[in-house]
């Protein structure tokens, strides 16, 4: 009976072996196909990430370009509402707008339009009217004062496609006075997009919120002004989010594309960066075919080996040995990981440390095993890490990620990012924590550098406009709470354009740096802030400073700059670089209807009065009343 059973088992062995071989071959093919598909997905995900970076960068550029236009438009609106639309004012503005247009490449045109839609500052368009244009009707019907970005239109000046940014200005009685219009050429945006080389058959398109193409590369002239409002990007509710990946067949050229779209948070703009899907996947497809041919050959080899498996049982032992060898190779790869892998026991001592510890923290694995896992963490960061480890030991968290400073054997310290996960026994109780740590010191340095660039003016080293606006809001709120006063000085270099024309822009930059150093030297208190407000204009924010104190500081700045003796032959009788200053102070708690804009406007009007009074002087606005008085000329 036992012999018969044994023979029956041997007779079924070929069938079992064949089933095993078929299962193995199917598994290998399935796993290989899955890996190739995963590799394909990785290629697509990488392209989505690259397109996301391009979309965010170009969206930021478009927003910055519109912000640049808007800053000029705001200044013109303020001048028109302050001085009116008399011929002398318009003549000055025409000269100013032409100068700004020449100074900024991205500006296509700057113009002022009266309340009837007639051009006031564009002689090339005399006889035409804009009263029926969408942007003009928008401002005519809406009392809102914010900037309006319109659909792309063809310029009346030269027929180019442009994007319009406009603001309304009012007459003294508050009624509609007209529109200040600025435009950016579609060609400028398209040429800027061409600088991003993201693929031979890639494309970048900037679209208005209603689906009309503003600029595109390549073939901008062919596609600008076309509407794609009927595409899923503008129709599907699932795509009406701020940003996301988007795979589609282009209605413009019929190509399958992998893309990323980004909707501007401030303007009605959508940026779409795409790459040709077939071009993107071509290298993967070639490599996948080669790898799959290799896998098929391997499967056929396994099938051949399986055919003789019944008569060569020893083959199983050799295959087992081969599997052990492969396992050893995989372990070797794991041990060679660039990230440091550690296992922490419940006593918070290191039970296992991977060899990469020597690269990450400068200590060999055998030197760290058995030591306190948190010993090298910076004292200021240790409580945070300790709290996370304690929570994981108690079972309150299964995983966590933390960034901290850690001592390095050969340097002061390094920044580490650790991903931690609890390990459990068969009964579910926590028995330790596994941490995977990587060195992110260079990333931290880059973040610090980017933070500095975000708040500092690159030419003068003073705070930039963005930092000034943030601090002004903060100090206004603080002055309101403390019922204290807040002072502001606006400083403008006299005849700076003439200085640049006479001595060149490098000398102009050097002049601005000297002026900035003098202004910075007058910041005697930690709370004071000096900033480059724009161009040759500077600002000093003086918390807890009354009008007399503000005037004293402004006079010291004016005198110090004059005494610096920077030669300026075109500056009238002085013959040296001078500045005009406008100052204003306010007690926010007493001026409940005032705001930061009121303070800036008061200082600006005082500065304007100083210039009108002959320059090289200081004017103070009396308690926000916009009635300047001269100080120390």
pLDDT tens digits, 248-259: 777 766 778 788
pLDDT at residue 316 in the model: 52
Q: In what order do the strands lie in the sheet with 203-208?
A: 213-217, 203-208, 269-276, 256-263, 243-249
The string of pLDDT tens digits covering residues 216-245 is 888 788 888 888 888 888 888 877 888 888
Residue 380 lies in a domain: yes
Q: Which residues of 343-367 are buried (b: 16+ CB within 10 A; e: fewer)?
A: bbbeebbbbebbebbbebbebebee
When pLDDT is averaged across residues 416-424 and rounded to a whole number, the result is 85
Indicate the residue among 251, 276, 301 that finishes a domain.
301
Joined tokens for residue 300 = 């056929």
What average pLDDT does range 513-517 have in this prediction?
93
Same domain, yes or no, for 135 and 284? yes
The confidence score (pLDDT) of residue 560 equals 93
Residues 511 and 608 in one domain: yes
Strand partners, 299: none
Among 562, 560, 525, which Cα is nearest to 544's?
Answer: 525
Domain housing 120: 45-301
At 483, list the tokens.
């019922």
- CATH number, domain at 88? 3.30.450.20
The answer to whether position 482 is within a domain reads yes
Domain boundary, last residue among 445, 474, 492: 445
Q: Largest Cα–Cα distance in the chain?
A: 127
| Residues 109, 237 within the same domain | yes
Domain-ending residue, one of 335, 356, 384: 335
Cβ count within 10 A of residue 240: 11
Q: Is residue 172 part of a domain?
A: yes
Kindly report the number of other CB atoms within 10 A of residue 66's CB atom: 22
Same domain assignment for residues 211 and 260: yes
How many domains does one find in the chain? 4
Q: How far is Cα 366 from Cα 116, in angstroms, rounded to an integer?
A: 84
- pTM of the complete model: 0.43
Whether 323 and 281 map to the same domain: the answer is: no
- Beta carbons within 8 Å of 347's beta carbon, 6+ residues apart: none
> What DSSP element (H or E) covers 109?
strand 107-114
**What gap in Å lies between CA 321 and CA 167, rounded to an integer?**
79
Picking from 41, 183, 37, 164, the residue whose alpha carbon sits closest to that of residue 109 is 183
Residue 450 lies in a domain: no
451 is a domain residue: no
Residue 125 gets which letter from DSSP? G
Q: Residue with structure tokens 């690159």?
A: 458
Q: Is residue 50 part of a domain?
A: yes
Percentages (nearest 5) of helix, strand, coil residues in the chain: 45, 25, 30
**503 and 599 inside one domain:** yes
Q: Give percent above pLDDT 70 in the chain.
A: 86
Let me know whether 522 and 594 are in one domain: yes
How confident is the model over 532-547, as pLDDT tens digits? Answer: 998 899 999 999 999 9
Does one domain contain both 84 and 21?
no
Average the pLDDT over 269-275 and give the result: 87
Angle at 588 between CA 583 and CA 589, to 5 degrees: 145
Q: Are residues 485 and 585 in the same domain?
A: yes
In the prediction, which pLDDT does 239 show? 77
- Could you give the CA distance from residue 534 to residue 615 in angstroms, rounded to a whole number? 19
C-alpha separations of 181 from 71, 81, 95, 101, 102 in Å: 12, 15, 15, 12, 16
On the question of pLDDT at 333 being above 70, the answer is: no
Task: Determine contact, residues 264/59, Cβ cutoff 8 Å.
Answer: yes
**In the structure, what pLDDT confidence band is assigned to residue 260 with cuts at 50, 70 and 90?**
confident
37 with 163, same domain: the answer is no
> Is residue 520 located within the same domain as residue 438?
no
Q: Is residue 175 part of a domain?
A: yes
On whether both 210 and 192 belong to a single domain, the answer is: yes
Q: Is residue 97 part of a domain?
A: yes
């Amino acid at each position: 009976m036992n012999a018969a059973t044994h023979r029956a088992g041997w007779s079924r062995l070929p069938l079992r072996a064949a089933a095993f071989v078929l299962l193995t071959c199917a598994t290998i093919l399935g796993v290989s196909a899955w890996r190739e598909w995963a590799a394909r997905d990785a290629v697509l995900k990488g392209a989505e990430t690259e397109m996301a970076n391009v979309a965010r960068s170009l969206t930021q550029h478009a927003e910055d370009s519109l912000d640049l236009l808007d800053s000029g438009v705001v200044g013109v609106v303020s001048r028109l509402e302050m001085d009116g639309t008399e011929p002398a004012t318009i003549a000055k503005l025409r000269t100013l707008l032409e100068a700004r247009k020449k100074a900024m490449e991205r500006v296509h045109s700057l113009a002022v339009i009266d309340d009837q839609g007639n051009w006031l500052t564009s002689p090339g368009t005399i006889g035409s009217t804009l009263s029926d244009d969408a942007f003009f009707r928008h401002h005519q019907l809406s009392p809102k004062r914010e900037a309006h970005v319109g659909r792309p239109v063809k310029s009346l000046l030269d027929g180019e496609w442009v994007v319009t940014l406009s603001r309304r200005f009012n007459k003294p009685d508050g009624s509609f006075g007209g529109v200040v219009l600025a435009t950016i050429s579609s060609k400028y945006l398209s040429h800027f997009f061409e600088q991003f080389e993201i693929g031979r058959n890639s494309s970048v398109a900037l679209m208005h919120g209603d689906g009309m193409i503003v600029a595109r590369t390549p073939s901008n002239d062919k596609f600008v002004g076309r509407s794609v409002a009927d595409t899923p990007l503008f129709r599907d509710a699932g795509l009406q989010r701020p940003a996301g990946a988007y795979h589609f067949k282009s209605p413009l050229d019929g190509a399958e594309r992998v893309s990323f779209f980004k909707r501007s948070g401030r303007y009605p703009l959508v940026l779409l960066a795409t790459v040709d899907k077939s071009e993107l996947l071509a290298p993967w497809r070639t490599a996948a075919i080669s790898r799959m041919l290799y896998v098929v050959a391997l499967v056929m080899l396994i099938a051949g080996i399986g055919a003789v498996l019944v008569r060569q049982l020893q083959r199983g032992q050799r295959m087992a040995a081969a599997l052990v060898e492969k396992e050893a190779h995989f372990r070797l790869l794991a041990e060679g990981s660039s990230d440091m892998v550690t296992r922490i026991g419940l006593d918070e001592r290191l039970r296992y440390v991977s060899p990469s510890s020597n690269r990450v923290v400068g200590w060999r694995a055998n030197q760290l095993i058995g030591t306190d896992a948190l010993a090298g963490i910076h004292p200021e960061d240790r409580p945070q890490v300790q709290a996370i480890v304690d929570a994981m030991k108690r079972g309150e968290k299964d995983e966590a990620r933390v960034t901290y400073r850690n001592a390095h054997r050969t340097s002061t310290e390094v920044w580490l990012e650790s991903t931690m996960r609890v390990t459990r026994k068969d009964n579910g109780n926590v028995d330790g924590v596994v941490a995977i740590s990587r060195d992110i010191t260079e990333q931290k340095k880059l973040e610090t550098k980017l933070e500095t660039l975000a708040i500092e003016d690159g030419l003068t080293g003073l705070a930039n406009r963005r930092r000034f606006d943030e601090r002004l809001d903060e100090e206004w709120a603080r002055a309101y709470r403390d019922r204290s006063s807040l002072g502001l000085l606006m400083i403008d270099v006299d005849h700076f354009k003439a200085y640049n024309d006479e001595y060149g822009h490098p000398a102009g930059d050097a002049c601005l740096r000297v002026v900035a150093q003098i202004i910075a030297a007058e910041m005697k208190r930690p709370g004071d802030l000096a900033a480059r407000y724009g161009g040759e204009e500077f600002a000093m924010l003086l918390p807890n400073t009354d009008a007399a104190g503000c005037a004293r500081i402004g006079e010291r700045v004016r005198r110090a700059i004059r005494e610096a003796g920077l030669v300026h032959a075109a500056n009238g009788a002085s013959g040296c670089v001078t500045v005009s200053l406008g100052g204003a102070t306010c007690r926010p708690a007493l001026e409940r209807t005032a705001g930061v804009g009121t303070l800036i406007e008061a200082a600006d009007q005082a500065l304007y009065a100083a210039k009108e009074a002959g320059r090289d002087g200081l004017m103070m606005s009396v308690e926000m009343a916009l009635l300047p008085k001269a100080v120390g000329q």
